[in-house]
Amino acid sequence: DTEVTQTPKHLVMGMTNKKSLKCEQHMGHRAMYWYKQKAKKPPELMFVYSYEKLSINESVPSRFSPECPNSSLLNLHLHALQPEDSALYLCASSQGLGGGAYNEQFFGPGTRLTVL
Amino acid sequence: SQQGEEDPQALSIQEGENATMNCSYKTSINNLQWYRQNSGRGLVHLILIRSNEREKHSGRLRVTLDTSKKSSSLLITASRAADTASYFCAGEGNKLTFGTGTQLKVEL
């Protein structure tokens, strides 16, 4: 299975809501990532988990809270978001971190988030 | 921003023609990767070239890397309508940093 799955595909939420995005991979990858992508822009890294521990936090506002319950799952908890947080949220995984030919990232299809 | 720049921003060609996209990056990298993204979907890895390599081929794809100029190019030969997508270069140092992307349209 070389697939990264993400749920939900679409999410509409108000600024006072709490919601979660979910990501799953069964490739045995030990690194997982959250990216945010605005329309016609490249993905921007938010968080990196390596061996289930937070490795990189790109100064993301605390209204975004990542969680890695186990090596296959990655969640992104959302609370008190702003309309400017509306974007495509992409999850990815790779075998490991650091330079090397094994660091191809596999991306999920994304969750299209709209904050009203 | 550590983001790389891609050139051109948009490219429109006829099916069967070759498409060339260029990427420049700012920081030292361990490898450079190219990804493809169909509209509103996830990214698909195309090819990875290591910092000690100068050229790499995969099917209709040819990638070059010039670390002295901090630049890379992606050539798609004999393009097809199905190649229509956005293409991103991504340099890997301590993390993957994506370029601004090239929107390729291949017309029948």
Contacts of A88 in chain B (CB under 8 A): 40
Does B99 lie at the interface with A, CB-CB under 8 angstroms?
yes
- Over range B15-36, report the average pLDDT: 93
Angle at A101 between CA A96 and CA A103, to 5 degrees: 30
Distance from CA of A72 to the nearest CA of B (A): 18
Q: Which tens digit of pLDDT belongs to each residue from A55-111?
A: 888 899 999 999 999 999 999 999 999 999 999 999 999 987 765 545 789 999 999
Both tokens assigned to A100: 């090397």
Instruction: Give the tens place of pLDDT for each residue, B26-78.
Output: 888 889 999 999 988 889 999 999 999 999 999 999 999 999 999 999 999 99
Q: pLDDT value at position A2?
A: 67
B3 contacts A42? CB cut-off 8 A: yes
Q: How many CB atoms lie within 10 A of CB A84?
A: 8
Residue B31 to residue A106, Cβ atoms within 8 A:
no
Q: Is B81 helix (H, G, I), strand (E, B) or coil?
A: helix
Give, as one character, the DSSP assignment of residue B18: -
Q: Verify whether the Cβ–Cβ distance A100 to B99 is below 8 Å.
A: no
Q: Say if residues A24 and A67 touch (Cβ distance below 8 Å).
A: no
Which positions in chain A touch B103 (Cβ < 8 Å)? 40
CA B96 to chain centre: 14
B50 contacts on A by Cβ (under 8 Å): 101
Q: Report strand pairing: B31-37 vs B43-50.
A: antiparallel
- B101 to chain A, any CB pair closer than 8 A? The answer is yes
